[in-house]
Structure 1
Amino acid sequence: MRASRLLSLLLLLQNRGRMSATQLAAELDVTARTIYRDVEALVAAGVPVYAEHGPTGGYQLMDGYRTRLTGLTAEEAESLFLTGMPQPAAELGLGAQVAAAELKLMAALPTPYRDASIRIRQRFHLDAPGWYREPGRVPHLLAVAEALWQDQAIEVRYRRWSPEPGEVTRRLQPLGLVLKAGVWYLIAVGDERPRTYRVSAITGLRLLPDRFTRPDGFDLAEFWQHHVARFEQSDTDQVAVVTLSPRGVADLPDLLGPRAARTARGTLADPGPDGWRQATIPLESVPHAAASLLRLGADVRVLEPPALVAHMAATIRAMARLYPRSGSAADPDVAGGPDHQVVPAG
């Protein structure tokens, strides 16, 4: 363990130049006292490390010194595909391997390539979860990943929503993990063909002693692409008919997303005398559609299906009861009318 840390310390100094004991300790998750001892060990081994004192001081290598001790371990090599995604790597238990692999790769690169890679990291960053969302809890992700690495069967308790909500038990052969919009999905074979399971919906997991052989020709990226296409196509199997104000039409991409908005825009009728236009939009479910359409406020009116019209009407009546008109500041006449605007101070 200490030998690995000494190598990491050496590579940090080689790749980044002068670093303080505090910075090195933070990178290697140890105390500054441990860094002092490690530096002494490197010097004793003949590595030309010297210290400069003062507010901008720190440890650095003598100019021109480079190490070639950059061999990757098997675990570090396996983690290379996650080098641009530190959060997913940490969730899979590969955070330390990713950091070590990056250090060794940087040390092995010629100086111009190393400088270019540093410039890219300084300018681009991937943040997978959506806005206002935190990564979901996935307590069984590490166990799923372990089974995936070992081609090992698992038995899971899974919380499903269709065809009937409830918990089911499934025996699965894991084929792959996919991170989509901050959510982990497991691709696994159950009874017959590969299916998709949301990892956060796994409530219990047991590793089985059985090993399995992966299907010949299975391509994870290709499977996921087809799965997404089928899922998005299923969204258009049911539709809602609405009329939209000009502002409602303009807000469709923010409401539905680019793909569904393009589908809806393709159905837009000619504007009526008031500028409103009829459109057909994908309907995933009545509650989901109602929650989305309510974001348009008075810029949308639902015409079909009747279940969605009833749901919208009931929700709006319930909301209206929360804002009584008489003598209330919520009354448009009291607050200044529907066109009243509050001007921020300053």
Structure 2
Amino acid sequence: MRADRLLSLLLLLQNRGRMTAPELAAELEVSVRTVYRDIDALGASGIPIYADRGPVGGYRLLDGYRTRLTGLTGDEADSLFLAGMPGPATELGLGADLATAQLKLRAALPAELGERSRRIQERFHLDAPGWFRDAEEVPHLGAVAEAVWRPRVLRVDYRRWRGEVRRKLHPLGLVLKGGIWYLVARAESAEGAGSGTENVRTYRVSRILNAEVLEETFERPTGFDLAGHWAESSRRLEEMRFQGEAELLLTPRGLRLLPMKFGAAGEAAVAAAGPPDADGRVRVVLPVESLPVATHDVLWLGAEADVLGPPELREAVARTITELAQRYAPSG
């Protein structure tokens, strides 16, 4: 809306001082011609905006002028919880609200605190996703967020590894973990969803093939704590993930590689490692997943690791190495 844009323009000049028309146009995502019209409109309404000519010119407010039109709308206040994550805020449709809310907050601060917040924003930046991974497409994130907020029952077509399913969900919250969006929701059964936390599951938003926000409402489970639920379900997932242990004999380099490959599990294994033998190799006990996953992980360590046990893992690694050796053996 034009009124919001005029306020944003005014707050930009108040917070940053002199700005050119192209700079304002880039910030507001409008044309330079639109900026000229907005400047004229603000001037006609009594806002003391002045134009400085020349190569270092631009528009500025009269020295000492400060607007007090800094009240936050509901959407702008909501967006502040994502102030450190502009990318996710944009994915949720709150990017413009977040930008305006930040401008209003800075305008309301005393001059010295406003300058301090500007310096912090210039010097610190949060980039949540991991390296070397493209961002997931989440075309239905907006619908999911709407159902979480209102709240409304959500009907989805969801892709599982065993095939597609249709579900009616009671969406309880959204979680951003490592750059990936997850929906925590209670699935309706044939008898209904119940009133507690039974049937509460986690759904990867990128695997939602279709999402429809229904007019049906639902009651959130009494006392449901999204952060607490996520921490507990993450703990259970970690416990289910590791199905056994591998006993390895590692070279010094293999010991350094272990945390890089296995994260916290690798760090714990290194911390509990015994003393090095005469060759400098160290025995460690590492939690592992299924046999195929553990075989792949151990092979990643290459010659830096000897598998001491269990026997089935040692046999699987030896079998894979034999197959590779036969495959790459010189012909003739």
What corresponds to 1:106 in structure 2? Answer: 106
Paired with 1:214 and 1:184, the residues of 2 have a C-alpha distance of 21
Aligned 8 A contact 1:89 1:95 in 2:
yes
What corresponds to 1:197 in structure 2? Answer: 203
- Tell me how far 1:80 sits from its aligned partner: 1.2
| Change beyond 3 A, Cα 1:103–1:315 | farther
What corresponds to 1:169 in structure 2? Answer: 166
Q: What amino acid does structure 2 have at the position aligned with 1:247?
A: R
What corresponds to 1:188 in structure 2? Answer: 185
Quick one: percent identity of the two aligned structures? 55
Q: Where in structure 2 are the equivalents of 1:57-76 lying within 5 Å? A: 57-76=57-76
What do you get for the CA RMSD once the two structures are aligned? 2.2
Aligned 8 A contact 2:39 2:49 in 1:
yes
Q: 1:166-203 deviations in whole A, cap 9, x for unaligned?
A: 22222210010010110111111125242211111222
Q: If the length of structure 2 is used for normalisation, what is the TM-score?
A: 0.90
Q: What amino acid does structure 2 have at the position aligned with 1:218?
A: F
Q: 1:16-72 deviations in whole A, cap 9, x for unaligned?
A: 111111111111110111111111111111111111223322111110011111121
Q: If the length of structure 1 is used for normalisation, what is the TM-score?
A: 0.86
- Tell me how far 1:294 sits from its aligned partner: 3.2
Q: 1:87-139 deviations in whole A, cap 9, x for unaligned?
A: 00011111111111111111111112211211211121100110111221112
| Change beyond 3 A, Cα 1:319–1:105 | farther
Q: What amino acid does structure 2 have at the position aligned with 1:227?
A: S
Q: What amino acid does structure 2 have at the position aligned with 1:248?
A: G
What corresponds to 2:194 in structure 1? Answer: none
Paired with 1:68 and 1:263, the residues of 2 have a C-alpha distance of 55
Paired with 1:261 and 1:304, the residues of 2 have a C-alpha distance of 17
What corresponds to 2:156 in structure 1? Answer: 156
What corresponds to 1:119 in structure 2? Answer: 119
Q: Any idea what SS the aligned residue of 2:222 has? A: coil
The answer for unaligned runs of 5 or more in structure 1 is: 328-346
Aligned 8 A contact 1:235 1:282 in 2:
no
Q: Any idea what SS the aligned residue of 1:209 has? A: coil
Aligned residue among 231, 235, 248 for 2:237 = 231
What corresponds to 2:254 in structure 1? Answer: 248
Q: What amino acid does structure 2 have at the position aligned with 1:240?
A: A
Paired with 2:101 and 2:41, the residues of 1 have a C-alpha distance of 23
Paired with 2:323 and 2:19, the residues of 1 have a C-alpha distance of 61
Paired with 1:288 and 1:139, the residues of 2 have a C-alpha distance of 31
Q: Where in structure 2 are the equivalents of 1:9-158 lying within 5 Å? A: 9-158=9-158
Q: 1:252-296 deviations in whole A, cap 9, x for unaligned?
A: 111111x21233225534433333233221213344434433332
Paired with 2:254 and 2:100, the residues of 1 have a C-alpha distance of 51
| Change beyond 3 A, Cα 1:319–1:50 | farther
- Tell me how far 1:321 sits from its aligned partner: 6.0
Paired with 1:86 and 1:310, the residues of 2 have a C-alpha distance of 49
Paired with 2:283 and 2:266, the residues of 1 have a C-alpha distance of 14
Paired with 1:82 and 1:269, the residues of 2 have a C-alpha distance of 45
Q: Any idea what SS the aligned residue of 2:153 has? A: strand
Q: Any idea what SS the aligned residue of 1:119 has? A: helix
Q: Any idea what SS the aligned residue of 1:89 has? A: helix
